[in-house]
Structure formats: structure tokens, C-alpha cells
Amino acid sequence: MVNYRHLGRSGLKISEITYGNWLTHGSQVENDAATACVRAALDAGISSFDTADVYANTVAEEVLGEALKGERRQSLEIFTKVYWPTGPKGPNDSGLSRKHILESIDGSLQRLQTDYVDLYQAHRYDHATPLEETMQAFADVVRSGKALYIGVSEWTADQIRAGHALAEDLGFQLISNQPQYSALWRVIEGEVVPASEELGVSQIVWSPVAQGVLTGKYKPGAPLPEGSRATDEKGGATMIKRFLDQPDVLQRVQDLTPVAQELGLSLAQLAVAWVLQNQNVAAAIIGASRPEQVTENVKASGVEIPAELMTRIDEILGDSVITDPAETAKNSPATR
């Protein structure tokens, strides 16, 4: 079963393996398969579920809401996000303006079939809206009872500091950041994690298996597996390309196999367990298109990787690891 961790400097506990439905629900898999994956997550002890209004242009929220219908609401932690355009993509259909936030939370709650979300997240930083306006809108969402806590996603250390200070002034808690993080993508370690530790902000990390590269299914010199993320032209292929374009990264991943075997883990389980060794990480988000993927990935919960094996992983991956903190800022568009 899955272990639980506090989210930020709050009293909220979440499952350290969190189920996410980006690129799956409403897009890659049929609704009955999506529901089966959610059931597998619940059966494994996962209580935290992450989605966003932009996933499948709002359909992912609908699918998740339907899949969780009938569950005891108090036993779940439901997260969603706001920023990216939804609907007809009009001038106010994106960003973190007061108008877009207050309209978007109502739409998300309706689709998720719930009166509130446990965590409402700014999906990116909005350079076109004053941060004071954004944080005041989030404060009003919290005071209205529509969200219990506020988080962000892919914000820089300076942005997190500024948002956290305003949240304190406005009387609510900014408790989390949702960045990409894996053994291959470590850009948050230099600046974001130290700032977050100081402020009492946790990371809820996405793509702990580096879009599937760390599962070992992409073999050096071999054709891309049919139906894999790398062949998905809806967005998955673009995300994974940065790793596949590195000449030796696939071989380095294969070289991790003895480490995984020593721990009694698959390569995917090793990847998820690796991010959970970072004490600033409250949860690793996993996605799935089949229930058995959920069942396998939750085995990473509670695993402790000895220091000597963490060092060996670093040595094996070597200079294929991306660490430049500037990569975080690149994830926040200068304009909507």
C-alpha cells in the first residue's frame, strides 16, 4: 500500500504516489479503461488525484469526476489547475486573471462533480497579469470554500517566493509546486528546492519516469515501440524528444538495470522511488493506460535507496542529466 506525506508546511497529507490523467483520460484511452485505472489506484491506497482543466480540453476532468463518483469525498485529495486556454480560446480564456480564475474554478468543480478541490494550482506563471491580482483571486477561491489550498506549477524560485509572500499577507497557504522532476531532469534542485524548503512548500512532481525513458522500454538503436509516448503526435512525442535526441541516454538507462535488480525493482519503479528520496518531494505523479501499470508503480512507495546506490545512479547517468535552473523559466510562456 501507499505511504502518505504532508504537503508543504500544512496539515494536509497526500499519497506519495499520486494518480494523474494528463495525456490519458479523454485522449489516449477510452473512458472504461480510464475508470479501471482509477479503481486500481484506489485499490492500491492512492487517495490523491491530479488533473487540469486544459487536459483534453476539459474532458479529463469530466472523466475523473465520473470515475470517482460514489467515493467518500473526505477520503480523497483532488487537485486541478488553471492557466492554459480552454473553450473557444478567447482573449480571457487563459491566464491567471481574476476573471479567468473565478470562472475556471466553477467549471472545474462542475466537471469533477465536487463542491471543492483540495488543491488548486496555477498551471504556469502569468507574466501578463499582476501577481497581486492573481493571488487575491486565489484568496477569494479559498475563502469561498471552493479550494482548500493553493499551489503552483513550474514556477521559478523567485516567483514562488513572491507568491508565497503575497499568500501570507492575504491569509492563505501556498503549499506546493508541481514541476517536472526525474533522475534525468533535475533542474529544480539548484534553486527551486532550496527556496521551497525554506518557505515550507513541497514538490508534487510530474514525469518521474522521464516520459517513459526511464522505464527502459526505449532500446538503443531499436525502433520506437508501437503505441508508445514517443510515437504520440498529440504531444507525447514532442516531450520525449529531448531525451531521445541524446546519443547515449538510452544506453545509460539500460545500465541502471543492475541497480534496480539489487533493490528488487523494475526500472520504472526505481525511477519513481528515486524522486521520492528527495525529502522536499511530497508525491510523484504517475499516469497509466492500463490498471497493471498502476499496480506496479505503487511498489515504489516506501522504498529506501541506500546512499551508495544513489551515488551509483549518478555515476551511470553522468552528463546525460539536465540540471540548468534556467530550464524552469523556459516553461513559463512570456505571453499567453
Q: HSE of 77 in the Cβ direction (CA atoms, 13 Å)?
A: 25
**Cα-based distances in Å from 228 to 60, 124, 237, 270:** 20, 27, 9, 20
Residue 243: closest CA among 234, 232, 252, 255: 252
**Cα-based distances in Å from 139 to 12, 79, 151, 161:** 18, 17, 12, 17
The dihedrals phi and psi of 48, each to the nearest 5 degrees, come to -105, 130
For residue 210, how many other CB atoms are within 10 A of its CB? Answer: 23
Cα gap 276→30, rounded to integer Å: 30
116 among known catalytic residues: no
Cα gap 184→179, rounded to integer Å: 13
Residue 240: closest CA among 207, 200, 276: 207
For residue 59, how many other CB atoms are within 10 A of its CB? Answer: 15
For residue 162, how many other CB atoms are within 10 A of its CB? Answer: 16
The single-letter code of the amino acid at 113 is Q
> Which H helix or E strand runs over 330?
helix 326-330
Q: Which residues contact 228 (CB under 8 A, 6 or more apart)?
A: 212, 217, 218
Catalytic residue among 19, 55, 83, 125: 55
Active site residues: 55
